[in-house]
Structure 1
Amino acid sequence: MERPELPLPQLHAFVVLAEELHFGHAAARLGIAQPPLSQQIRRLENKVGHALFTRPPGHVTLTPAGSELLPAARRALADLADGLAAARAVGDGRAGRLRIGFAASVALTVLPGLLRTFRHRFPDVHLDIREMTTTPQIAALHDRTIDIGLLREPPADEKELRFRTVLSEPFVAVLPSTHPLTAQRSVQVAQLADSPFVLLPRMVGPTLHDQIIGLCTAAGFTPQVVQHAVEWQTVCALVETDLGVSLAPASIRRIRLKGVAFRRIEPSTARTRVAVAWRRNDHDPLVAHLLATISQDPPDRT
């Protein structure tokens, strides 16, 4: 048997009349005349197939069928109100789900403060945070599996995405604590020429990788890379084992390992940047809110 469709305006009129039990009072509360209210109730009764109210002169009461319908009608109206409110919140960017990709080193710089501020401003937004290196972030933005990325050294030839620098920081030398160069306060890049290197593989961050290789080339040598590691935490752990040295963003100094030392490098003009990335022509209000949060609370430059 096909279930009858119950129009919400008729349910609204029914609930108000059930609460007032007076056609005149209910019509005034609804802001309509009494005849249209009576018509709404008649239409609803025709759909139900039974009278919902008794109508003795001067007195209105619910029938058993009306008493049965009333809780369901109230739930339907409440569910609609909740749905409309939720839809408005998502449309306004006050609720919903925002998927953010971030490079591990960003967790040492801008990420904690940014997320703390954003969650304070938009507590009803669910943040889906995914750790991934630069190249996977670019792919995820194209595939629409993340909405926004926080990455290091975005590619220069990307046409479908937009980037905004949020942090610029210098490089440091990452040395085993037993390395002779730890006796110096700063290190010339050329002084690392005879040391083996531990680096991130180029495929996970081509621009940053090429930048580090470029620092070595400018100092007159090509680094002898003996080991690759995808995360800076792993790079530092391998350096601690005396496997080699590395060049890394200065924020890596926040990784505390007993057997690792960090030193400023010379020349000190080279810097690496963290950028926020998003799709061109993306009109998601949540993305706009996160970008605005970054603009309003810019991170300190290292």
Structure 2
Amino acid sequence: MDRPELALPQLHAFTVLAEELHFGRAAARLGIAQPPLSQQIARLETKVGHPLFVRGPGRVVLSPAGRELLPSAQRALAGLADGLAAARAVGSGRAGRLRIGFSASLALTVLPGLLRTFRERFPAVELDIREMTTAPQLAALQLAVLHEDAVDIGLLREPPPAGEAGSLGFRTVLTEPFVAVLPSDHPLAARRTVGVGALAEEPFVLLPRAAGPGLYDRITEVCGSVGFAPRIVQHAVEWQTVCALVGAGLGVSLAPASIRRIRLRGVAFRAVEPSTVRTRVAVAWRRDDPNPLVGQLLEVVGTE
């Protein structure tokens, strides 16, 4: 049995002849001579097993079998044209699907502007946005591209050192200072700035290290630089929960400055000294990812 795709040139010749009802005009439209056109029609009629045209002196009309075939042939050719157009759009990075993982706190900083700019430039792209802490993002970037849990782009805090990057690429998007997160009635909340060392005797509420090893280590490193290790009494996966627990009096925290946009009663945010202490936000991707949309998003990041 003939494979269906082998009939596509014949279907094209058939539909053009059905529209022109004249071999000469149809051949000219197709850019071929009349004998090859006649051969294409003859091959298709052999597949169907019945004549598709009634030929007469100076005239050609569709046979009953031809009239029945024409709508299906037109749909098949239109579907192929749509498929080719869609494939070209995806291949050129103008359409397709882009899976983006992001740390929740970045919804308070770079994420909204980045997504807005990307959508304005590439409105046909489907964005699959997934809220994930840093460690799960890195794991999802290591999965095979076709895996349903994989992501194509990660927006995360404190990426791993260059020596541990492996097949992933990282680009810094921004750096931001830390703030002290305090109960609003805490004595330190009366100050405009708080030295990190002033938190040495305080209980801490922090994200678990498993959620974001780089950020966790950065915070403990900041504390260590002034001579103490934070005494962690409670972990919470989301910064909003960390702030809520601080407001409930369970302890204090050090957090990226963007966390100040979380408005919770009973919580105060204060700049910390030294002010040079900062945390890094980066975009991450697979270096060998064939998806052209990855490069498109990286270009947008570079212009933000």
TM-score category by the smaller chain?
over 0.9
Give SS of 1:60's match. strand
How do 1:114-153 residues align onto structure 2 when only pairs under 5 Å count?
A: 114-144=114-144, 145-153=150-158
Gap runs ≥5 in structure 2:
145-149
List per-residue Cα deviations over 1:235-254 (Å, max 9, x = no partner): 00111101110000000001
Alignment match, 1:162: 169
Gap runs ≥5 in structure 1:
298-302
> Is this contact kept in 2: 1:201–1:230, CA < 8 A?
yes
> Is this contact kept in 2: 1:99–1:127, CA < 8 A?
yes
Aligned length: 296
Find 1:266's aligned residue among 269, 273, 293: 273
- Tell me the percent identity: 73
How do 1:93-112 residues align onto structure 2 when only pairs under 5 Å count?
A: 93-112=93-112
List per-residue Cα deviations over 1:197-252 (Å, max 9, x = no partner): 10111111112111111222222222211100111111001111011100000000
| Distance (whole Å) between structure 1 residues aligned to residue 46 and residue 169 of structure 2 | 58
1:230 equivalenced with 2:237 (yes/no): yes
Runs of 4+ in 1 over 3 A off after TM superposition: 2-6
User: How far does residue 3 in structure 1 lie from its aligned partner after superposition?
Assistant: 7.5
> Is this contact kept in 2: 1:4–1:48, CA < 8 A?
no
| Distance (whole Å) between structure 1 residues aligned to residue 259 and residue 207 of structure 2 | 13
How do 1:190-209 residues align onto structure 2 when only pairs under 5 Å count?
A: 190-209=197-216
| Distance (whole Å) between structure 2 residues aligned to residue 277 and residue 217 of structure 1 | 28
| Distance (whole Å) between structure 1 residues aligned to residue 223 and residue 59 of structure 2 | 94
| Distance (whole Å) between structure 2 residues aligned to residue 208 and residue 239 of structure 1 | 19
> Is this contact kept in 2: 1:4–1:47, CA < 8 A?
no
How do 1:35-114 residues align onto structure 2 when only pairs under 5 Å count?
A: 35-114=35-114
Find 2:184's aligned residue among 177, 189, 202: 177
User: How far does residue 19 in structure 1 lie from its aligned partner after superposition?
Assistant: 0.6
| Distance (whole Å) between structure 1 residues aligned to residue 130 and residue 87 of structure 2 | 26
> Is this contact kept in 1: 2:167–2:288, CA < 8 A?
no
> Is this contact kept in 2: 1:236–1:260, CA < 8 A?
yes
> Which amino acid is 1:152 matched to?
R
Give the direction of change, closer, same or farther, for the CA distance of 1:176–1:287 in structure 2 (3 Å limit).
Answer: same
| Distance (whole Å) between structure 2 residues aligned to residue 176 and residue 234 of structure 1 | 14
Which has the larger displacement, 35-44 or 163-172?
A: 35-44
| Distance (whole Å) between structure 1 residues aligned to residue 221 and residue 55 of structure 2 | 90
Alignment match, 2:196: 189
User: How far does residue 288 in structure 1 lie from its aligned partner after superposition?
Assistant: 0.3
Alignment match, 2:293: 286
| Distance (whole Å) between structure 2 residues aligned to residue 15 and residue 70 of structure 1 | 7
> Is this contact kept in 1: 2:101–2:129, CA < 8 A?
yes
Aligned-residue RMSD, C-alpha: 1.2
| Distance (whole Å) between structure 2 residues aligned to residue 108 and residue 243 of structure 1 | 24
Q: Please report the TM-score for the alignment, with normalisation by the length of structure 2.
A: 0.95
| Distance (whole Å) between structure 2 residues aligned to residue 130 and residue 23 of structure 1 | 57
Q: Please report the TM-score for the alignment, with normalisation by the length of structure 1.
A: 0.95
Give SS of 1:202's match. coil
List per-residue Cα deviations over 1:29-69 (Å, max 9, x = no partner): 11111111111111111111111111110111110000000
